[in-house]
Amino acid sequence: MPQMMPLNWITLLLFFTLIFYCFNNLNFFSFLYNKKKTNLTLKSFKLNWKW
């Protein structure tokens, strides 16, 4: 039935959008960052500006 085709396209669009969303969420939340523990010391320089 051609009258039902727009409904089919909408359901396909929603279905693939949902799959895309789930796939991206799984990839985003399954990736773990390895934090490097480094001792960073910030050197502060006192600059006296003479204008």
CA torsion sign, 40 to 41 to 43 to 44? positive
Q: What is the pLDDT of residue 5?
A: 76
Greatest Cα pair distance, the chain, in angstroms, is 84
Quick check: helix, strand or coil at residue 38?
A: coil
pLDDT digits (tens, 9 = 90+) for 1-51: 567 778 888 999 999 999 999 999 999 999 777 877 777 677 777 877 776
Q: What is the pLDDT of residue 23?
A: 97
Token pair belonging to 51: 């204008």
pTM (two decimals): 0.54
